[in-house]
Structure 1
Amino acid sequence: MIASSTLVACSSADDQVVNLDFFQFKPEAVKEFASLIDDFEAKNPDIHVVQNVVPDPDTAIRTLLVKNKVPDVLTLNVSGNFAELARACVFANLSDEAPASSVNPAVQKIVQTLGSCDQGSGPEVNALPFASNASGILYNPQIFAENGVEVPTTWDELLAAAQTFKDNGVNPFYCTMKDAWTAAPAFVNLGGTLMPDGFFDKLRGEGSDLDTVSFSKDFSDAAQKEVKLYSFCQDDFASRDYASGNKAFGAGDSAMYLQGSYAIPAIRATNPDAQIASFPYPVTNDPDSRVVVSGVDVGLSIGRDTPHRKEAQRFVDYLMSPEVVQSYSEAQSTFSPLKNAVPNADPALAGLEPYFTDGRIIGFIDHQIPASIPLVNMLQSLVLTGDSEAFLSDLDSEWSKVAARTATARKGKS
């Protein structure tokens, strides 16, 4: 466990100071949060915040739960793992706190759709969005200009652009299949746009018998389009990892990169002068159907049973203030989740920002798939083999197994 060097334990003589355990999951943001904590402590001398960063946050938080040591304040990626903990009522209800009213409703909806505690009085707000990301396509504007290619707004235009680059000896996409998860961003954009409304609600309602909806029935187009995109990768894409991809794209080794805003700081770390711009996935031939897949990269929660609720809330209130959210957004190339937020001026985000500001966003569909299903490994196999039918059939099978186990567990508790 890593503790920020400025956050040493309080003097025992100062027994008026409350110590807050701050579980912070992003190692790349340690310095940013340390600076924010220094500012908060200067304004709140009766509170001392200890920033704790761990290498495997998902495992670490579950270990703490087993030991009944839920941190006072937490940052978490608002994903399926968060949702499981929220539904288990691990986190406090923040719906009546002042910052909740400042959040963009479209962003809070993404959090609530994943799941929350409901003890009979309705769904709670168990996390406040602090920073949002956006999954689009990153591109090199200089390479586009040199090859006379305009930003595509339809699926056919995207394929035509990729073919032009390939014909001109330029890698259309730099792909990194040594890290299986890197196939997921394309899938969540393709599947999220093309799937029927209410797909996952209907799928969960079917249990283990997938009669009305299924991945095989409803995700065939998305799977085939994923395979098509990956047919434009560089030759060695199966042996390249994410770090190699960031370095290569930053060096101008491809026209496009199938990663979102979260990759921008990592790319700039390899080349501060990297040419980076962005556009939303054109999944269909209707330009008006374009949306941006967005997730809450950092959500703020408070432990439900913290003995320091008032102090924890003061810290969360500080973090959710517009100036702090904006400062973090600019430092980490994220989007502010607040209403009427000043758009992030980072030119790399300019192609995605209008969609986020206007609420034309959808959540990450992989957050709807149980962690026990090896989705990223299955996607890796999909793009390496091109066998979309096997991928979809296997995904249906894995979903049915989880649904059957879940139903059995529920019967056992009744």
Structure 2
Amino acid sequence: MKFATNAARSALRRALKGACAAACAVAVGLGAAACGAGAGKGQVTLDFFQFKAEAADWFKQAAEEFERQNPDIKININNSANAQTDLRTRFVKDRVPDVITFNGDYSFGMFAASGVFHDFTDDPLVDDLNEGMVTIAKNLVQTNDPAKKRLYGLPFAGNASGYIYNKDLFRKVGLDPENPPRTWDEFTAMLQTFRDAGIDPVQATLADAWTTQAPLASLAGTLVPESDYAKLKDGTTTFKQIWTEPATKEIELFTYADGEKGVTYQQGTQNYAKGAAAIMSGNVNQFVDSMQNEWDKVQARDFSE
């Protein structure tokens, strides 16, 4: 999970400006600590650590725009494919980046609880952020003390769970793409309709294990009540107890991946863009420009029905 903001590039620009203003005192950014490397009295260099390969160009453009507006500040971007390992190593060696992009996950919460990140709770930047995402960010901090549930990062992007579906293939098998399934039984019946017509129902990309997270997030989010997560935190239930049904349904979902399941996410999106399967769970931006068929996206349904 990542965070979301109403003005991502604007918030990033202001965060970098704040980092420079606080140079060598505190660092500012999404999970940031330590101090930017000075490049002489006339210029400050900020070490910007980011981990998403698909976002590298966006951050490069944002940094260049910022540098044009602030010629006394240079942004040194370090892209890492193994962010958590690299960050732990840098923390141990006291080479913490000034600004860090980070997934909003358990590891972020552990780092935040250790006090290594800057506290943004009372920063005016927070006014630009999505209030719900700010609450999520605070709740990620791994502490039982409510007073320590502070904002240690600026939410700037969010993922939504759902499915992209090929409207042309819907019509080909007699289904209405404007009326997608609303229950799990309707969903699996739809997949069976594609199978019976000789069309691969689901494009799987299991060579990249992380791609199993999106459908699980959708299923767990609708099947598991919030009260169960409170019980999980206080130790009165287990993941096995509350996630058995979501995991079982995800396994069932992938039984409808009739094509090769072990392809990479990149290859899978290319296959799907060519019309090789009816639905896919994933990132629209990866392949929207190359989509050859009419397509649409559907919000994840409440499969608790």
C-alpha change, 1:275 and 1:109, in structure 2 (3 Å) is: farther
Aligned residues of 2:141 and 2:150 also touching (Cα < 8 A): no
1:243 aligned to which of 266, 269, 289: 266
How far did 1:15 drift?
A: 2.3
Distance in 2, Cα, partners of 1:75 & 1:11: 21
Distance in 2, Cα, partners of 1:32 & 1:176: 25
Map of 1:255 onto structure 2: 278
| 4+ aligned runs moved over 3 Å, structure 1 | 116-122, 272-276
**Unmatched 5+ stretches in structure 1:** 1-9, 207-211, 287-414
How far did 1:231 drift?
A: 2.0
1:132 maps to 2:148: no
Distance in 1, Cα, partners of 2:123 & 2:96: 20
Distance in 2, Cα, partners of 1:143 & 1:16: 60
Helix, strand or coil at the partner of 1:191? helix
Q: Tell me the amino acid that sits aligned with residue 247 of structure 1.
A: Q
Distance in 1, Cα, partners of 2:293 & 2:47: 38
2:296 aligned to which of 240, 257, 277: 277
Q: Tell me the amino acid that sits aligned with residue 77 of structure 2.
A: Q
Aligned residues of 1:156 and 1:285 also touching (Cα < 8 A): no
Map of 2:71 onto structure 1: 45
Map of 1:379 onto structure 2: none
C-alpha change, 1:235 and 1:119, in structure 2 (3 Å) is: closer
Alignment map for 1:83-102 (pairs within 5 Å): 83-102=109-128
Map of 2:17 onto structure 1: none
RMSD (Å) for aligned C-alpha atoms: 2.5
Q: Tell me the amino acid that sits aligned with residue 277 of structure 1.
A: D
1:264 maps to 2:284: yes
How far did 1:171 drift?
A: 0.9
Residue identity over aligned pairs, in percent, reads: 31
How far did 1:215 drift?
A: 3.4
| Deviation sequence 1:243-264 (CA, Å, 0-9, x none) | 32112111110000122xxx22
For normalisation by structure 2, the TM-score amounts to 0.78
| Deviation sequence 1:160-212 (CA, Å, 0-9, x none) | 21111111111110112333332222222112211132323322322xxxxx4
How far did 1:116 drift?
A: 5.9
2:192 aligned to which of 151, 163, 188: 163
Aligned residues of 2:203 and 2:259 also touching (Cα < 8 A): no
Aligned residues of 1:155 and 1:285 also touching (Cα < 8 A): yes
Aligned residues of 1:196 and 1:218 also touching (Cα < 8 A): no
Distance in 1, Cα, partners of 2:296 & 2:153: 30
Aligned residues of 2:162 and 2:297 also touching (Cα < 8 A): yes
Map of 2:237 onto structure 1: 213
1:173 maps to 2:173: no
Distance in 2, Cα, partners of 1:11 & 1:163: 61
Distance in 1, Cα, partners of 2:256 & 2:151: 42
Structure number with the bigger relative contact order (C-alpha 8 A, sep ≥ 6) is 1
Aligned residues of 2:275 and 2:292 also touching (Cα < 8 A): no
Helix, strand or coil at the partner of 1:198? helix
**Unmatched 5+ stretches in structure 2:** 1-36
1:110 aligned to which of 136, 159, 169: 136
How far did 1:219 drift?
A: 2.8
C-alpha change, 1:284 and 1:265, in structure 2 (3 Å) is: closer
